[in-house]
Structure 1
């Protein structure tokens, strides 16, 4: 340990003796590492932002059971002429089969033309058929939702969002839409309530899914969302759903895709990993140039210190002592360049992030993770060893007699 400390102390003295020349020679490392730090921290920030957005828009405890409407025929996507789908009775059977605590929702959605019962005025709206309980994203501001009894009896009732309520009542208060009637297909629906969704840009009509005929559900199958009470139950629930589909539904699971949002997170992570590797390889060119600069510094040092090396070997220094001396100097130089690059990279991201936010209006931040700093440490060590080995071996192979004779 004492020899190692002495070697690094000697390396620092030699660097101070040629400080300006050393700094100029390691500019490649500084720039390369700075670019690497900036890119890694920005990508880490992008990945963190993507994860946050996925978590906000969807739950990692959710399992989606979606219909597969298309199949591959000779590499071409073709719509299936016959497929299984989750009608309400089938959905109830699936929900009853779950052994882990979870809440299930059956949702059908399609843009349709509605008509007012008075004046026969056409209104375009998104019609959503749903089971009970309502999805947490749906909440009532006025009135009420339909009851389980009304759902099971397929009663012609509905509730609307504020946008559709305003289309029904004009300048009157939104709650005055309660009791109004809308015509959907051959059904006259009575409005029971108004949702709290103030941001919707289009009207929305929410009805009991039991009002939809089998032909409608077959042509446009509903999706099922199963929300586990505990995130650790998601894999088991996913397996249960897949098993139920294989045994209880014609064609088994071929007509359905069962996915969790963890898959979306993993897909995003793989995409960012690929981006990180590609950008790292590109930036690695600058680091390679910096390593060549380190080798240049050490080769010049070997030439300038030929006599010193000869004297040391004449006084008993072994090849490994000389080898370690120059390797330690190489590692010290590359570490110094990497630290300067790290500081420059962090400073650059502090400048870049406000500019990115100003142009994109996205609440995005750079993320400095332990992985980034570990990568920089590894880069410094690899550069020091790889590009310092040849000059160190050249110094260790010097003949002491020939080296002293040059004086």
Structure 2
């Protein structure tokens, strides 16, 4: 059977070679359709990679946020809860210690208030942020240092200010060692955080300086930074279990959110776009398949006597069927390969145009899935559109076929 199949494909290749120009014109629809499909899929894959890269740069995929839910829903109306659980700095440390994978906890308490400095009558409006255990990732210091573990444990009244705070004071002198007055008391400045001119004045202090009851009236964000992206689902599950066990309402007052959904949303959007564009471009491939059927029907008509002679000397119906199906698959594969090459060349020419106008580091992506899709399409077109001509050839009566000569 294998020998007959290989012989059929060899005869098909010989037939295509003897009628090359006619075959090329007949598969032109497949060439254009496949080229458009390759270009579309590779550009969409490139867009998806670019989107994922942008998401990764602007959002930490390793971050796990815990939000307090101070509201409840009654009759579709959002109303404040009379009482809800909060996590203290000590509880954050306990939660962190219970996790099986390495992570870095962060707690940020934010409020706007007036800040003054001893001997200075100027009042500065600043965002006062309580942090635990230290500043969040990617925060750069221009002067001094961050909080030490000893200062956090002993609840020392220390603080950091950002460069916008210094610009508000119109002072260029180093503020290290000076004190500032906040609603939480006097704090000693130990460092300066880098900030651009768009940032408001900020004061950072240890979150442990806030009484737990005071936290209820402030915005509090809890977050954990996982060591690896792959560890995020496990850590999220462990946090949910810990909150159910250690909070009064069984974790109902908290919501755990990760940034994986951003990547999932982007992937779903690109999948829908890929399906829609594939359907539209697939119409061109359909037209190409009709061209394959046309060339095979013409071939059956031109080779009627040949088919009759083969059947008269002992060729079986399945032999004729296999020969024309092989020819159909060979023709469609030939057209698909030409379309693949044309599609790759088209995207290579199109990407520089996109870069010129959009000014983004965009690249087309050629994935294994794209090449597998093209291979499947080539075979399907050959089988679907070659079946009718092959059956027609196989069902010819040998006597009538020879008599037509």
Is TM (by shorter chain) over 0.5? yes
- Residue 378 (structure 1) aligned to one of 376, 379, 397: 376
Indicate yes or no: 2:333 matched with 1:310. no
Calculate the TM-score normalised by the size of structure 1: 0.87
- State the distance in 2 between where 1:361 and 1:223 align: 36
Superposition pairs of residues 198-217 of structure 1, within 5 angstroms: 201-214=199-212, 216-217=214-215
Secondary structure in structure 1 of the residue aligned to 2:252: helix
Shift of 1:158: 1.6
CA shift for structure 1 position 155: 4.3
* Distance (Å, rounded) in 1 between the aligned partners of 2:104 and 2:110: 19
The structure 1 residue matched to 2:122, chosen from 117, 120, 123, is 120
* Preserved CA contact (<8 Å) 1:169 1:177: no
The correspondence for 2:343, drawn from 342, 345, 349, is 345
Partner of 2:162: 161
Contact 2:62/2:232 (<8 A) preserved: yes
Distance in 1 separating the partners of 2:122 and 2:352: 53
Per-residue CA deviations over 1:364-406 (Å, capped at 9, x if unaligned) read 2111111111111011111111111111111111111111222
Q: Which secondary structure does the structure 1 equivalent of 2:333 belong to?
A: helix
Task: Please name the residue that 1:250 is paired with.
Answer: 248
CA distance in 1, matches of 2:78, 2:34: 46
With over 3 angstroms needed to count, the CA separation of the structure-2 counterparts of 1:74 and 1:33, relative to structure 1, is farther
Runs of 5+ in structure 1 lacking a partner? Answer: none
Distance 1:36 1:144, change over 3 A: same
1:119/1:347 CA distance change after superposition, 3 Å:
farther
Q: 1:382 to 1:68 in 2, by over 3 A?
A: farther
Structure 2 counterpart of 1:287: 285
| C-alpha distance in 2 between matches for 1:10 and 1:79 | 80
Q: How many residues align?
A: 402
- Give ranges in structure 2 of 5+ residues lacking alignment: none
- The DSSP-based 3-state class of the residue aligned with 2:294 is helix
Deviates more, 1:61-70 or 1:320-329: 61-70
Kindly report the root-mean-square deviation, in angstroms, between the aligned alpha carbons of the 2 structures: 2.8
Distance 1:108 1:384, change over 3 A: farther
- For structure 1, which segment, 138-147 or 368-377, has the greater mean C-alpha deviation from structure 2 after superposition? 138-147
Residue 57 of structure 1, CA deviation: 3.9
Please tell me whether the aligned partners of residues 124 and 168 of structure 2 are also in contact (alpha carbons under 8 angstroms). no
| Residue of structure 2 in register with 1:357 after alignment | 355
Structure 1 residue 201 displacement after superposition: 3.9
User: Structure 1 residues 352, 242: CA separation in 2 closer, same or farther (over 3 Å shift)?
Assistant: same
Partner of 2:225: 227
Matching residue of 1:33 = 34
Q: Shift of residue 132 of structure 1?
A: 1.3
Deviations 1:237-275 (A, max 9, x none): 322211111011122222222234445434433333333
- CA gap 1:71/1:332 in 2 versus in 1, 3 angstroms: farther
Aligned to 2:65: 64
* 1:11 and 1:332 in contact (8 A); partners too: yes
Instruction: Provide the rounded CA distance (Å) in 2 between the counterparts of 1:78 and 1:283.
Output: 51
Q: Which secondary structure does the structure 2 equivalent of 1:252 belong to?
A: coil
The CA distance in 2 between the partners of 1:129 and 1:16, in whole Å, is: 78
CA contact (8 A) 2:124 2:169 kept: no
Contact 1:86 1:222 in 2 (8 A): no
1:52 paired residue number: 53
